[in-house]
Amino acid sequence: MLTFASCLPGSLLLWLLLLLHLGAASPQDSEEPDSYTECTDGYEWDPDSQHCRDVNECLTIPEACKGEMKCINHYGGYLCLPRSAAVINDLHGEGSPPPPPPAPHPNPCPPGYEPDEQESCVDVDECDQALHDCRPSQQCHNLPGSYHCTCPEGYRKIGPECVDIDECRYRYCQHRCVNLPGSFRCQCEPGFQLGPNNRSCVDVNECDMGAPCEQRCFNSYGTFLCRCHQGYELHRDGFSCNDIDECSYSSYLCQYRCVNEPGRFSCHCPQGYQLLATRLCQDIDECESGEHQCSETQTCVNYHGGYRCVDTNRCVEPYVQVSDNRCLCPTSNPLCREQPSSIVHRYMSITSERSVPADVFQIQATSVYPGAYNAFQIRAGNSQGDFYIRQINNVSAMLVLARPVTGPREYVLDLEMVTMNSLMSYRASSVLRLTVFVGAYTF
């Protein structure tokens, strides 16, 4: 009895089989006369057939092969081989077949069959018993009486070997093809995914799949773009949005003060002004709007950025009030002899830093007598050279701002008109008391 329980390299297999043949019972033994009832190792006497019969050690010896070894029964013995090992049984080979294994008695079955217990011929599963010569690259298929070797799917027979088919050569894929042993796989460029047929590539809508855009996402073929709402700009990372500081872009966005806000900006105005058309500041006329706190004996005077309450009765002795803004010095009063006959109160407002010279107020004589001549001058006040009078003609003159002034500031100027009539030897003087408010701003 021969056992080979070691790991056998394939090239040794034929040699082992020959050894096995030598060790097996010789055909003469099995053809001994009936009187012999003893058989050599690996055979047992079958009284029914009156022959020595091979013992299938793989079935009768528990754990005939240890571990991962597979047991292969043979006439007169058995083999333990690695599961991957193939026993070369060159029944189907192209070379000259080796002599058939000597059997205890002639095999009554055709090639590819073997007798079973009942002496009927059953197919030998050459694939299962590793009695085939399929290459490792091939698949063995058992057939009645024989077997055949085929190539697995994705392989093609070239000569004796199965060779992987390079499916990528046949342009199966829309974008990229990766050949794999026995198969292939299509791949898509970034931004695309395999379509249902596993070959074409369809655009991925990254915006629906959590694209990292902070504000707005636009899908496009193969990619996506992030955009920002108005008032934001895209960060250089391409995803996040940064607030634009509009105020830093231009100092002309707002007439007074620009305040940056997330996504926008707003203009603010100083006290006494209201926002006009989002960027301009307009003086609030507190006298018109009723915001003023002036009493009933006062007159409300509006100016750029505020208002003033002035006493309605502003006439000082020897003047007497004749109307809301007009005081007269009665000629009957001796104190009035050297005084202007009347004082009229007027108020006006100008902004800071006006370009100069600037005409700011025109004085007009109300009545002209034939042959009369009117002269105009700044009689008193805190002008300090900031204003001068330009005579236009006999009946009118212009108050001119001579220097740029910055408010808040207040001038009170007595503008005198002297009327002379040489024919009638007449001379008269009246005063316009003008209060000029200079606002704090240029608007």
The residues of the shown chain that bind ligand NAG, judged by CB under 6 A, are 197-198, 373, 393-394
Q: Which is nearer to ligand NAG, 85 or 165 (CB)?
A: 165
Write down the least CB distance from residue 373 to ligand NAG, Å. 4
The pairing of strands 426-438 and 342-350 is parallel
Write down the least CB distance from residue 428 to ligand NAG, Å. 15
362-371 burial, b if ≥16 CB within 10 A, otherwise e?
ebebeeeeee
Could you tell me where the beta strands, DSSP code E, fall in 332-408? 342-350, 358-364, 372-381, 387-391, 396-401
243-267 burial, b if ≥16 CB within 10 A, otherwise e?
bbebbeeeeebbbbebebeeeebbb
CA gap 397, 97 in Å, rounded: 141
Q: Which residue has the tokens 């008695």?
A: 105
Write down the least CB distance from residue 243 to ligand NAG, Å. 46
Q: Which is nearer to ligand NAG, 108 or 371 (CB)?
A: 371
Q: Which is nearer to ligand NAG, 45 or 170 (CB)?
A: 170
Could you tell me where the beta strands, DSSP code E, fall in 3-133? 43-46, 51-54, 69-74, 77-82, 113-115, 121-123
DSSP annotation of 393 reads S
Q: Which residues pair with 183 in a beta bridge?
A: 180
Helix extents (H) in 170-216: none
